[in-house]
């Protein structure tokens, strides 16, 4: 049997300005997701959890909490963009051009817009990506620039965390 390692993410050397990554996993946001996230983050805006209130707004229904949208779209990008980061350094230019509703399915795409070696950490580099989240109709629902501090390939923490599997008797 030949062991085939799974995808382990990109390192600083793997990023090139202009590269675009269509992140493969879509995510349908449910009413339960939205209510739980709203409760977890102590957001008391009724527009996220009170159906009767939502009906009286210009949207005619509840909106998904925008920070949930930010969290999901960021999460969708991790496997391609930040699997090997030391730290997120910032989110800038966050825009929410179209509302997200319960039942929408969100997809994400990221473009590398800048990269440079770290001045203070020779084992890492700084990468900026512009990420957009789109709904099932292709409408952009969020966009942002994220700056990450990412390991260079030869300096990443030790791999080999997967335990040795005991042979069955």
Read off the pLDDT of residues 17-33 as tens digits, 9 standing for 90 and up: 999 999 999 999 999 99
Rounded distance between C-alpha atoms, residue 64 and residue 130, angstroms: 22
Give the residue from 47, 53, 51 showing the smallest Cα distance to 68. Answer: 47
Q: Residue 40: exposed, middle, or buried by beta-carbon count in 10 A (0-12, 13-18, 19+)?
A: exposed
pLDDT of residue 93: 97
Q: How much is the average pLDDT of 95-116?
A: 98
Domain boundaries, the chain: 12-154
Pairing assessment for the beta strands 124-134 and 20-28 based on DSSP bridges = unpaired
Architecture of domain 12-154: Roll (3.10)
Give Cα separations from 60 to 53, 63, 68, 74, 135 (angstroms). Answer: 9, 9, 20, 28, 18
Read off the pLDDT of residues 29-50 as tens digits, 9 standing for 90 and up: 999 999 999 999 999 899 999 9
Q: What is the DSSP string of 111-130?
A: EEEEEEE-SS-TTEEEEEEE
Q: How much is the average pLDDT of 83-111?
A: 97
pLDDT of residue 4: 78
Rounded distance between C-alpha atoms, residue 19 and residue 62, angstroms: 36
Q: How much is the average pLDDT of 148-156?
A: 92
pLDDT of residue 8: 84
């Amino acid at each position: 049997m030949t062991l085939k390692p799974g995808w382990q993410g990109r390192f600083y050397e793997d990023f090139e300005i202009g590269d675009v990554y269509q992140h493969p996993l879509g995510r349908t946001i449910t009413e339960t997701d939205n209510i739980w996230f709203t409760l977890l983050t102590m957001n008391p805006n009724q527009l996220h959890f009170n159906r009767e209130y939502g009906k009286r707004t210009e949207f005619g229904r509840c909106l998904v909490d925008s920070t949930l949208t930010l969290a999901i779209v960021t999460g969708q990008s991790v496997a391609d963009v930040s699997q090997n980061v030391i730290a997120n350094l910032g989110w800038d230019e966050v825009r929410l051009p179209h509302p997200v509703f319960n039942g929408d399915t969100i997809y994400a795409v990221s473009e590398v817009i800048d990269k440079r070696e770290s001045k203070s950490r020779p084992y890492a580099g700084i990468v900026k990506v512009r990420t957009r989240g789109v709904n099932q109709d292709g409408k952009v629902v969020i966009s942002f620039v994220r700056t990450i501090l990412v390991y260079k390939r030869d300096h990443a923490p030790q791999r080999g965390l997967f335990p040795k599997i005991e042979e069955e008797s």
